[in-house]
């Protein structure tokens, strides 16, 4: 498994089109060649809409995280927006951290 927690840093020294093409043609295909799982994090709201659409189209799945601050306490939330080729639950679920720092989600 390979995890890049913030691919937005690639935009720091590269034109948007160039780094998106690099991710789509190099990083995404290498995972299947290596029989590996790649997790690519990207921060919403700092790139163009076409960047997000291109990266999402190249991915097998899109998982969203958000911080819900509507209640008394802030709650970390997770949902699967898209996943191919399997069925999935697209509802938001609260993430809970246990005493041993194990993270689970509420069904």
55 and 92 housed in the same domain: no
What rounded mean pLDDT belongs to the chain? 89
Using a 10 angstrom Cβ sphere, with 0-12 exposed, 13-18 middle and 19 or more buried, the burial of residue 20 is: buried
Q: In degrees rounded to 5, what are phi and psi of residue 93?
A: -130, 140
74 and 32 housed in the same domain: no
Does pLDDT of 53 surpass 80?
A: yes
48 and 67 housed in the same domain: no
11 and 52 housed in the same domain: yes
pLDDT of residue 29: 86
Identify whether the C-beta of residue 23 lies closer than 8 Å to the C-beta of residue 10.
yes
3 and 48 housed in the same domain: yes
55 and 67 housed in the same domain: no
49 and 86 housed in the same domain: no
40 and 51 housed in the same domain: yes
pLDDT of residue 64: 94
- Decide which of 98 and 6 is more confident: 98
Does pLDDT of 91 surpass 80?
A: yes
49 and 70 housed in the same domain: no
Identify the domain containing residue 93 by its residue range.
61-107
93 and 55 housed in the same domain: no
pLDDT (tens digit per residue) in 12-48: 888 889 999 999 998 888 888 888 888 888 888 889 9
Provide CB contacts within 8 A for 19, sequence distance 6+: 7, 10, 11
Look at the chain and report how many structural domains it folds into. 2
């Amino acid at each position: 498994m390979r995890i890049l927690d913030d691919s937005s840093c690639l935009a720091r020294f590269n034109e948007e089109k160039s780094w998106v093409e690099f991710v789509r043609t190099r990083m995404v295909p290498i995972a299947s060649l290596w029989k590996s799982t790649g997790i690519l994090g990207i921060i919403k709201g700092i790139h163009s809409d076409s960047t997000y659409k291109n990266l999402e189209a190249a991915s097998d799945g899109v998982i969203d995280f958000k911080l819900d601050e509507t209640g008394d306490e802030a709650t970390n939330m997770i949902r699967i927006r898209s996943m191919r080729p399997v069925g999935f639950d697209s509802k938001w679920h609260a993430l809970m951290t246990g005493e041993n720092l194990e993270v689970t989600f509420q069904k």
